Amino acid sequence: MDRFDALILDAIQTNNRLTAEALSQQVNLSPDACRKRLARLRAEGYVEADVAILDPQKAGRGLILIVEVTLNSERPAELDLFRARMRAASEVMQCYYVTGNSDFIMILSAVDMADYERFTRRHFFAEDNITRFRTSVVMDRVKVGFAVPLAAGD
């Protein structure tokens, strides 16, 4: 990845709907060069997904929670089962397998606390392999995004 690739990736992290013409103005390459580079970067897996970031409040899921989960067992089969359950749970917006005091940290959305309680009953209390979970309720979305800082000075 060279400086132009980094500039292109940085630009589409902010707005993935930029046209090749708009990209060309931002990175000082021709539209055709931008199109080709972006196609290559996508083919090489630099871009995992093109998504829209929704306002949870407007979508009716304004309660955002950060949950730390500790498992009894971290055997591969147990980890894979928990991962699969969290991937399948629509309430789970992000889920990370981490080091430290917990095994997983996840970000969830819920309609309200009763909705979150139903989630905990289905996914935490009904699961024998969960030792504990700790929940923090988000009071303010200070920064939301997925942009990865890129060094554009190669």
Low-confidence ranges of the chain (pLDDT < 50): 154
Closest C-alpha among 68, 123, 69 to residue 91: 123
What's residue 63's pLDDT?
97
What's residue 152's pLDDT?
57
What's residue 88's pLDDT?
97
Please provide the distance, in angstroms rounded to a whole number, between the alpha carbons at the two ends of the chain.
9
Q: Rounded CA gap, 10 and 5, in Å?
A: 8
pTM of the model: 0.86
What's residue 40's pLDDT?
97
Domains with residue ranges and CATH for the chain: 3-43 (1.10.10.10), 63-137 (3.30.70.920)
What's residue 3's pLDDT?
94
Q: How far, CA to CA in Å, does 45 sit from each of 9, 40, 128?
A: 12, 9, 37
